[in-house]
Structure formats: C-alpha cells, structure tokens
C-alpha cells in the first residue's frame, strides 16, 4: 500500500498559513504601536477641535402623541339631505389617510397658516412668525450678514398682502419650520401618531407644537366637512327665501280676510281661500327647510374628526446633544489611517528584504 500526500493549491490557504498571518499581523501592530497611538491621538485632536469650532446651539425637542378619530360620516338623514342638492352623502377622506396625512401636516399651507396665528404671552398678543424669527436662530444662520433684517418683524396678519421681500422672508421661515417639524407613526401596532418640534428655544418648541396641531385640526375639519357646509348654506338660503315668501303671503291673506268681512257674495271669498291654501303649503315647506337645516348642523358636528391627545408634551424639555460625534469620528478615522500606514509599511519592508 503506497502512501500519498495531498498538495494544497497555491491559491488556497491552509490553517497553518492563517495562523502565521495572524501572528505576523500581531507582531506588526505591536512593533508599530507608537504609530497607532500617534494617529489615533491626532484624529481625536482634530475631532475635538472641530467639535469646538462647529459647535451648534442646544436644541429642544417637544413631542406629542395623538390619535385621529373617525367622524360619524353621512349617517341618519345626511344622505337624503345632500341628495336634494346633488352632493355626495359623505365627505371624501381618502386624501388624508396614510402617508398623505403626514405630508398634509408639514405642507406649506398648514405651516404658513400656523405662522400667521396670534399667540398670547403674558397677556400680550404676538405673531407666531415673529417669535420664530427671534427665537429659532434664523437671524444667526439663514439671515447671517443681513444687517437690514436685525430688527425685522412681519407687520400684517394676511400673508396674501405681503410684498415680494416679505414673501421671500416668509418662505425662509416656512422652510425653517418644516425642518423643525417631524411626524411619524408611533409604531406599526397602533394608530397613534407622534408629532415633534425641535428648535433652539424650549418655549418655541412647545408653542409651535401646540399651535401646529390646532391648525391641523382646523384645516382637516374644514376639508372633511366642506360638502356638508355647502349643503347647509343652501338649506339656510332656501329657508330664508321661504320665510320672505311666507311673510308676503300672510300679509296678503290678512288683508283679504279683512276685506271679506264687508262682502256678502260667496264668490268673492275664493281669493282668500286660495291664499289660505298657499300659505299653508308654504308654511309646510318652510317648516321642513328649517328642520333640514337643523339636522344638517347636527350632521356637521358629527362629521368633525376628533383629535385626541394621548401623551402631551413632557416638561421640562430635554436638550438634544450631538455627544461629541466629531471626536468619535476622529478617533476612528485616526485608528484606521494608522492601520493602513502600518500595512503599507510592512509591505514596503518585505519588498526591501526580498530584494536584498
């Protein structure tokens, strides 16, 4: 029986080769430990300096958890009433579902409407956009170097009346507010929504979050009940018209009945009988119109969605910190550069030795 040996191909490593390589790497690192320490310290120093030079102001995050409840929709007589004027029986809520709702909260119309609101601070009214200008850091960052904007404040409540300069400045504030606002699902197992605001001023974060949610509820309700409100206006206008007609008819009937007291011929009383029938018919139409309008008002209340705050803003707010990120990145980068340097140094030494 002959003995045979299995040769390992040149492109494969044996366990012995792997162990030898590990030992070589360990020896190279121990031999060049000073280089590793030096590069790591240099990286740490660079990161530390960058942390100091590029230090940003502390930011405060306000967070609120809420739930968007459904509305009653077109229950009861709502469908019939809306059908009288050619409208649908229930408002379309599809544009406010899922990711669409998240976009809606941070959309320009909602953000701008919130900025144009008055807020009460110690009994005085202030425009929220001006508070954002003074407390969000926009003057130090976005408007840096603009001495003409040092004491700038918006004067008018209606943004439509702004000139082009005010419009551009408002656009900057809107973008700043959008960047400071965050919205997401609390988790995949619930329908709760987390709304957050992060600014350089704790009071501004709380103020912005509360007013934004209030505006979202207002705009959302206006859109959800738009069809019902249109129907209600038509019914109210119809009731007013019938009231005017009924008043005119009752006046004519009273005059005719007074004249009939002096008439003996029966045929002369025919116009009065006709007016009585007309008055009774118009009276029934008016009563039904008033009742329909009242039912529509009830439907309007029932259709309004319910925003329920599950978790209000926690006080005091915690300051967000970057935890010396540049220092950590500098340490890691220095260590990696040291490994690369040691590797190329070892390769260069092995090539030099092979030539000798």
- The pLDDT score that the predictor gives to residue 273 is 66
Which is higher by pLDDT, 51 or 154? 154
Assign 270 a pLDDT band (cuts: 50, 70, 90): low
> Are 190 and 146 members of one domain?
yes
Is position 82 within any domain?
Answer: no
Helix (H) or strand (E) holding 124: strand 124-127
Closest CA to 138 of 164, 172, 162: 172
> Are 217 and 105 members of one domain?
yes
> Are 217 and 276 members of one domain?
no
Is position 9 within any domain?
Answer: no
pLDDT digits (tens, 9 = 90+) for 168-223: 888 889 998 998 898 888 877 777 888 888 888 888 888 999 999 989 888 888 87
> Are 104 and 216 members of one domain?
yes
The token pair at 167 is 């419009």
Closest CA to 111 of 205, 178, 170: 178
- The pLDDT score that the predictor gives to residue 212 is 92
Spell out the SS3 assignment of 67-102. EEECCCCCCCCHHHHHHHCCCCCCCCCHHHCCHHHH
Instruction: Report the number of distinct structural domains present in the chain.
Output: 3
High-pLDDT (> 70) share of the chain, %: 76
High-pLDDT (> 90) share of the chain, %: 3
**In this structure, what are the phi and psi dihedrals at residue 342, rounded to the nearest 5 degrees?**
-65, -40
Number of neighbouring beta carbons within 10 Å of residue 122: 5
> How far is residue 117's CA from residue 114's CA, in Å, rounded to a whole number?
5
Report whether pLDDT(1) > 50. no
pLDDT digits (tens, 9 = 90+) for 290-303: 888 888 787 777 76
Is position 313 within any domain?
Answer: no
| Residue 81 CA, distance from chain mean position | 34
Is position 4 within any domain?
Answer: no
Which is higher by pLDDT, 214 or 249? 214
> Are 187 and 271 members of one domain?
no
| Residue 348 CA, distance from chain mean position | 59
Domain-terminating residue out of 189, 209, 225: 225
pLDDT digits (tens, 9 = 90+) for 46-75: 877 776 666 666 778 888 888 876 554 444
- DSSP string covering 264-289, please? --GGGGHHHHHHHHHHHHHHHHHHHH
Assign 111 a pLDDT band (cuts: 50, 70, 90): very high
Domain-terminating residue out of 174, 193, 225: 225
Burial 192-201 (b: 16+ CB within 10 A, else e): ebbbbbbbbb
Closest CA to 321 of 112, 98, 58: 58
Is position 309 within any domain?
Answer: no
Is position 247 within any domain?
Answer: yes
Is position 182 within any domain?
Answer: yes
> Are 149 and 219 members of one domain?
yes
Closest CA to 173 of 199, 147, 192: 199
Say which DSSP state 107 is in: S
Closest CA to 134 of 189, 74, 200: 200
Average pLDDT over residues 317-343: 77
Report whether pLDDT(6) > 70. no
> Are 211 and 248 members of one domain?
no
> Are 130 and 210 members of one domain?
yes
> Are 123 and 174 members of one domain?
yes
**How far from 143 is each of 58, 96, 116, 150, 172, CA to CA, in Å?**
19, 35, 20, 9, 9
> Are 98 and 209 members of one domain?
yes
> Are 218 and 121 members of one domain?
yes
| Secondary structure (3-state) at 116 | coil
Assign 338 a pLDDT band (cuts: 50, 70, 90): confident
- β-pair partners for 181: 197
Q: Is the bond preceding 316 in cis, omega lying within 30 degrees of 0?
A: yes
Domain hosting residue 291, numbered range: 229-303
User: Euclidean distance between the first and final Cα of the chain, in Å?
Assistant: 46
Domain-terminating residue out of 203, 225, 247: 225
- DSSP string covering 193-240, please? EEEEEEES-HHHHHHHHHHHHHHHHHHHHHHHTHHHHHHHHHHHHHHH
The token pair at 105 is 């909260």
Is position 184 within any domain?
Answer: yes
> How far is residue 121's CA from residue 256's CA, in Å, rounded to a whole number?
65
- The pLDDT score that the predictor gives to residue 91 is 42
The residue count for the chain: 356
Helix (H) or strand (E) holding 138: none
- β-pair partners for 309: 66
> Are 98 and 192 members of one domain?
yes
């Amino acid at each position: 029986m002959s003995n045979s040996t299995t040769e390992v191909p040149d492109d494969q490593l044996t366990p012995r080769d792997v162990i030898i390589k590990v030992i070589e790497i360990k020896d190279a690192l121990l031999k060049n430990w000073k280089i590793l320490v030096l590069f790591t310290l240099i990286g740490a120093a660079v990161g530390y300096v960058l942390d100091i030079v590029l230090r940003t102001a502390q930011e405060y995050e306000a967070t609120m958890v809420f739930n968007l409840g459904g509305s009653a929709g077109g229950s009861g007589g709502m469908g019939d009433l809306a059908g009288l004027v050619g409208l649908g029986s229930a408002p379309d809520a599809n544009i406010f579902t899922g990711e669409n709702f998240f976009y809606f909260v941070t959309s320009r119309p909602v953000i701008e409407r919130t900025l144009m609101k008055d807020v009460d601070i110690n009994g005085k009214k202030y425009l929220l956009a001006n508070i954002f200008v003074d407390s969000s850091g926009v003057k130090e960052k976005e408007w840096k170097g603009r001495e003409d904007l040092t004491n700038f404040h918006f004067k008018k409540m209606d943004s439509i009346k702004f000139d082009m300069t005010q419009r551009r400045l408002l656009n900057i504030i809107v973008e700043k507010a959008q960047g400071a606002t965050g919205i997401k699902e609390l988790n995949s197992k619930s329908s709760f929504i987390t709304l957050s605001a992060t600014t350089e001023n704790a009071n501004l974060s709380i103020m912005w979050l509360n007013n934004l949610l209030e505006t979202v509820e207002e705009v959302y309700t206006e859109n959800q009940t738009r069809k019902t409100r249109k129907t209600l206006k038509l019914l109210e206008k119809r009731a007013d018209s019938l009231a005017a007609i009924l008043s005119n008819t009752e006046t004519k009937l009273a005059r005719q009945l007074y004249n009939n007291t002096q008439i003996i011929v029966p045929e002369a009383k025919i116009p009065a009988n006709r007016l009585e029938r007309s008055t009774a018919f118009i009276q029934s139409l008016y009563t039904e119109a008033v009742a329909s309008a009242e039912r529509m008002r009830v439907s309007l209340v029932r259709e309004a969605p319910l925003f329920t705050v599950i978790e209000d803003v926690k006080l005091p707010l915690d300051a967000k910190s970057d935890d010396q990120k540049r220092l950590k990145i500098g340490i890691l980068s220095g260590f990696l550069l040291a490994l690369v340097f040691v590797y190329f140094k070892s390769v260069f030494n092995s090539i030099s030795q092979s030539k000798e």
